[in-house]
Structure 1
Amino acid sequence: MIVIADGGSTKTNWCLINEAGRKIHFNTEGYNPYFSDTDYIVDSLRKTLPDHIEADKLLEVYYYGAGCSTDANKKIVADAMQQIFLNAKINIGHDLLASCRALLGDQPGFAAILGTGTNSCLYDGTDITLNIDSLGYFLGDEGSGCFIGKRILSDYMKGYMPKGLRESFYDNFALTNEDIFDNIYNKPLPNRFCASFSKFLYDYKDSYEDYTFATIEYAFTAFFDNLVVHYPNYKDYTLNVVGSVGYSFRDILSVVADRYEMGVGKLIRSPIDDLVDYHMNKSRKKA
């Protein structure tokens, strides 16, 4: 039995493939090693892994995670996985590579993540050949849920948000300015806190179309200006994106991409199904 996982900063999607080839899907929270240490990940998995998952019987784990871009960060996650999946070979990769494999398979192209955070790269069909660092939620992550959430929170706190939407925001969250400051500066996982408000905007987008369009267009324009256009010959590629933000606001993303003369390719919410197919195809070829 093997398990394949795509871990974002907010949620991890898992798929176990048993001896009969049956796929068993389940979810846990996200584990970004920039914010979660080994003990935290182990504790969370012990609490949230479904009871029917026989962890000690797994032979291989393929975990692709946000923040797993350095050897030190990969070790944080690998050490945690080894404590849970005692008899498995642990393979840790970056979530950007998972996105490439899900979006492009063995074909070269441009791939991006627009979820809680942002990432992007050029891919040669096997490896990532160029990655412009998005610099994380504090300095960058343009186009991400966190970037959008920060704009929403700023507009709410400054009183720039449309009156009716501001009232709905308070009805939903009952947050004061002091509460927001406390969550951002004093509590753990501020990136996840900020990103959560992009869903609020999506839920009210039909009632506040102008505000939604302006907010999301601003985020995706920043994504292009600060990241996409700096890839050599970017117009020669199609825009392939994985992530809830890119997928949910794909109509606005397409408008912005067209403005930058970049065609739109594959847009998916989650890479897990395509990633599982990638690994199963690889296994068949080896056999």
Structure 2
Amino acid sequence: MILIADSGSTKTDWCLLDLDGKRNYFVTEGYNPHFASAEYIIKSITHNLLPKINKQEVYEIHFYGAGCEDDKVMVMEEILRSVFINCEQIKTEVDLLAAARGLLGNEPGFAAILGTGTNTCIYDGKKIINNIDSLGFILGDEGSGAAIGKKILSDYLRNKMPSSVKKAFDGIYGLSPTAIIHQIYGAPMANRFCASFTKFLNHPEVDSDYVYQLVKMSFTEFFQQLVSCYPAYNSYAFNCIGSVSFHFKPILEEVLYEFQMQLGKILPSLIAELVSYHTHPENSYT
């Protein structure tokens, strides 16, 4: 069986593909080796994925993950080998390559991620040929769920929210400023914590103008600081994967048109597209 995974910092989409082509999909939490230890990831996969599959039958794994670059590629592959001890072939790649392959297949173009974090690239149909570093949760990730969540928390802590929005926030979360600061600066996975507040913008008591202004500002910063920095960026269609891009698609469209880009594919997830990519004869395991 072939196991394919698309892992962000918040969730991982898995597909187990059997010899008859049957697809079985699963979801676990996300595994970013920059924010979670090897011990934590092994324990989570063991408890949350293995009860659903027969690990002895997995002979090939394609794992795409946020943070799986440079030395973290080897870290993630060692984690997977320790769990799937009989697996013959394990390949770990950065989640941005999954975005490019899922959105574009073997065609060249522009691909982006707007989920818990942010990433962007120019893809030549085989590999990423230009990537401007998003700089991660602390220095960048403009437009991401974590960035939007930081803006929400900043507005709350500085009393910049409209009174009705602040009342709704207090009613839903009941968090003290001290508790918020501790979660961001004293607890692990602060990016995931911040991103979790994007769903607050869906609450019926949250003023729609507040939502629009906050999200549009975040997407504008994303285009200013990342997208528009690529040479001839507006000669490409804008293709993007991620819950943030999908959920706030109307605002995203407005901003990309302001930056003179055409709309391409906007998908909430791409595990099905990745499975199709890896089952195409042209893209057999190498």
Q: Do the aligned partners of 1:37 and 1:76 also contact (CA within 8 Å) in 2?
A: no
RMSD (CA atoms): 1.4
Q: TM-score normalized by structure 2?
A: 0.96
> SS of 1:27's equivalent?
strand
Deviations 1:170-197 (A, max 9, x none): 1111101001000001000000000100
Q: How many pairs were matched up? A: 284
Deviations 1:211-238 (A, max 9, x none): 0110000000000000111101011001
The match for 1:109 is 109
Which stretch has the larger CA shift, 213-222 or 31-40? 31-40
**How does 1:113-124 map onto structure 2 within 5 Å?**
113-124=113-124
Please tell me the residue identity of whatever aligns with 1:96. Answer: L
The match for 1:249 is 248
The match for 1:221 is 220
Matched, 1:198 2:162: no
Deviations 1:247-278 (A, max 9, x none): 10000000000101111100000111111111
> SS of 2:280's equivalent?
helix
**How does 1:1-287 map onto structure 2 within 5 Å?**
1-70=1-70, 72-88=71-87, 89-204=89-204, 207-282=206-281
Deviating 4+ runs (over 4 angstroms): 283-286
Deviations 1:87-130 (A, max 9, x none): 11111001000000000000000000000000000000000000
Deviations 1:9-30 (A, max 9, x none): 0100000011221100001111
Distance in 2 (CA, whole Å) between partners of 1:235 and 1:46 is 44
Distance in 2 (CA, whole Å) between partners of 1:163 and 1:211 is 11
Distance in 2 (CA, whole Å) between partners of 1:240 and 1:188 is 31
**How much does 1:203 deviate?**
3.5
Q: Do the aligned partners of 1:41 and 1:77 also contact (CA within 8 Å) in 2?
A: no
Q: Do the aligned partners of 1:8 and 1:32 also contact (CA within 8 Å) in 2?
A: yes
Percent identity over paired residues: 45
Distance in 1 (CA, whole Å) between partners of 2:177 and 2:146 is 18
Distance in 1 (CA, whole Å) between partners of 2:51 and 2:189 is 27
Distance in 2 (CA, whole Å) between partners of 1:262 and 1:283 is 30
Q: TM-score normalized by structure 1?
A: 0.96
CA pair 212-284 structure 1, distance change in 2 beyond 3 A? closer
Distance in 1 (CA, whole Å) between partners of 2:10 and 2:94 is 15
Distance in 2 (CA, whole Å) between partners of 1:283 and 1:3 is 18
Uncovered stretches (5+) of structure 2, i.e. residues with no partner: none
Q: Do the aligned partners of 2:38 and 2:75 also contact (CA within 8 Å) in 1?
A: yes
Q: Do the aligned partners of 1:110 and 1:238 also contact (CA within 8 Å) in 2?
A: yes
Q: Do the aligned partners of 2:227 and 2:233 also contact (CA within 8 Å) in 1?
A: yes
Distance in 2 (CA, whole Å) between partners of 1:266 and 1:230 is 21
Q: Do the aligned partners of 1:149 and 1:195 also contact (CA within 8 Å) in 2?
A: yes
Please tell me the residue identity of whatever aligns with 1:52. Answer: K
Which stretch has the larger CA shift, 116-125 or 82-91? 82-91
> SS of 2:281's equivalent?
helix
**How much does 1:169 deviate?**
1.1
Q: Do the aligned partners of 2:277 and 2:283 also contact (CA within 8 Å) in 1?
A: no
